[in-house]
Structure 1
Amino acid sequence: MPEQPVELDDITVVAVTDELRQQIGDASPHVALIRERVREKIAAVYSLQEEIKLLRLAPSPEFDAYNDHAEACREWGRQQKAELGL
């Protein structure tokens, strides 16, 4: 193996806390893309105006259907982030 750059000689092991995980996620372009895709998945079925209307009508069967869809999209996003270790 070739000699490593000096910057790599001083590696420190850190505990990945929830706060650090959040900071990594906030800085990650991959997480930003996942968040955008979650929004796109929701918007593919419900426009922003429809979402606002349904929130005002809650509780209702229509709101429940919207909420189920939004939660399924969010769960997809959580799974994608978990695959990244976040």
Structure 2
Amino acid sequence: MLATLEIKGRAPKTGYARDQFGPAWSDVDHNGCDTRNDILKRDLTDTTFKSGTHDCVVLTGTLADPYTGGNIAFQRGQKRRKPYRLIMW
């Protein structure tokens, strides 16, 4: 079945600009931490935080991956060769 699908080239750029959608992460619950760090703090274990941020900037931690049963190490600002995102819910 997959062999019958037509393979198309890369889609054209559409003029997407991230800044048209507002700030990337906001502090929706007004606790002083942005939503990204709230979720990282909630879902990671063995977390370390940037000093002077009132534990609002997560530097490292470990995610218990619910899909594989393994652990995924998180490190803020870590460069990766392949795109990778933590799935947060």
TM-score range, shorter chain: under 0.3
Task: State the TM-score, normalizing by the size of structure 2.
Answer: 0.23
Greater RCO structure (CA 8 Å; 6+ sep) = 1
Task: State the TM-score, normalizing by the size of structure 1.
Answer: 0.23
Q: By percentage of residues, which structure has more strand?
A: 2
Larger radius of gyration: 1
